[in-house]
Structure 1
Amino acid sequence: MDYILNITMLMLKGIAVTLKLYIVTAVFSIPLGIIISIGKISGFKALKILLSIYTWIFRGTPLLLQLFFVYYALPILGITLKPFTAASLTFILNYGAYLTEIFRAGIESIDKGQYEAAEVLGMNYRQTMMRIILPQTIKRVIPPVCNEAITLIKDTALVAAIGMGDLLRGAKEIVTRDFNIIPFIIVAIIYLIITSVIVYVFKNIEKKYSIYE
C-alpha cells in the first residue's frame, strides 16, 4: 500500500504539466475555432482560401509531427521556443483547426430564416451571431466538442516526446525503474477520472443550453 501511495504521489507531480497544457489549449483553441469558423463562412474568398489551407494542414498531418516541427525545426529558422510554449502553440493550432470545422458545421446547420428574422428586427451581423446564431450553435456542437476535450487530455501525453515530464512519462519512468505494471494501472485510473469529470462538465453545459432547442 505504501508503494502505491508513494508512486502515485510521484506521478501526480507530472499531472500539473498535463492539466496546465490542457487548460491553456482549451482556453485559446475554442475562441480561435469560433473566430476562424466565422471567417470561413464569410464572403471574403481570399480569407476563406487561407483559412481552409490552415485547417487542411493541421487536420491532415499528425499532431506529433506538428509538435516536432515547432520544437525542433523552428530553431533552424531562428525561432526557439521553450518546451511548454512549443507544446501550447502546437496544441492550440491543432485543436483550433478541428474546432473550426465543428463550429462551422454547427453555424451552417442553423436555418437561414433566422438570419432573415434578425435582419427584420434590425440586428446587424455581429448582433445576429452573438445573440441568435452562436447560442444555438454551441448547443448543437457540445457532443463533438466534448469528444475533442476527451481526446485532448489523452493527447497531452505526446509532450513526453520533447522531454516534458507529464503524467504518463512519470508512470513510464517508474515502470522502467521498478519493472512493475502498477504505475500504468494507476495512471489509467487517473485518466479515467479526468475524462469522467470532463463528461460531467459537458453534460451540465448541455443542460444549460437546452433552452435553445
Structure 2
Amino acid sequence: MVSVRPITPTALVDELVEAIARRAADRPWTRVAVDGADAAEPGALADALVAPLRLRGHPVLRVRARDFLRPASVRLEYGHTDAESYLWGWLDDAGLRREVLEPLAADGTGRVLPSLWDAARDRATRADYTVLPEGGVLLLDGPLLLGKGLPLELTVHLWLSPGALRRRTPAEDAWTIEALTRYAEEIVPTTEADLTVRYDHPAHPALVEPLRR
C-alpha cells in the first residue's frame, strides 16, 4: 500500500536534494539516476538539483543517457521505430558502466567520460575525461534506466499515466509508447525506483510513499 503526497516543485527538489545528501554522507561519490520517459523531461528535474547540491558543498557531474547510445548500425538494425530495440538495445549499458558508473564506485578513481556517442552525428563525441572530486554527485537522466542492474545509490522514477504519456509525447515519437508501456508493465519502475514521483503535471507533482504501519 502506498500514499500519494502532493508537493510543490520547489519542495520536491528540496526533498530530493536531502535524500541525495543523506546517501552522500559516507561515500566518496554518489550515483543518482532520474528515470523517466522523454515526455516527462527527466533532464529538467536533474538540472534543477545541480545548484542546491553544489550549495551543500557537493561537486556535481551531469550525464545524459542520450550521450551513451549505441551507434546507429546497432541501434537501428531493425529500423528507426522498433520498440523492442528501443527498450533493450539503444542504451550502451556497458559503455555507461565502464566510463561513468564504475569509476564512481567506492573503490573507483573518480575519472569519468561525461559523454561517449553523438547519436545525431553518429560518431564519438571525443569528450575529455574529467575527475569528479570526492564528495561529488553524479546526476544521470534518461528513459528506461531501471531494471538493467546499473550500479546506483539513488534512483528516482517520474511516472506518467498512460493518458499523459500519450498527450505529452510528440507525434513523431509515438512509436516509443509501446516500449514505455512494456517497461511500466514488465520492469515496473515504480517498485524498482527508490523514489517515485507522479508527474502528469510537473507544476503539481506528487511523491508516492509506502504507508507506515
Higher RCO, Cα 8 Å, sep 6+: 2
Taking structure 2 as the reference length, the TM-score comes to: 0.29
Pick the structure with greater CA Rg: 1
**Bigger share in strand:** 2
**Bigger share in helix:** 1
Taking structure 1 as the reference length, the TM-score comes to: 0.29
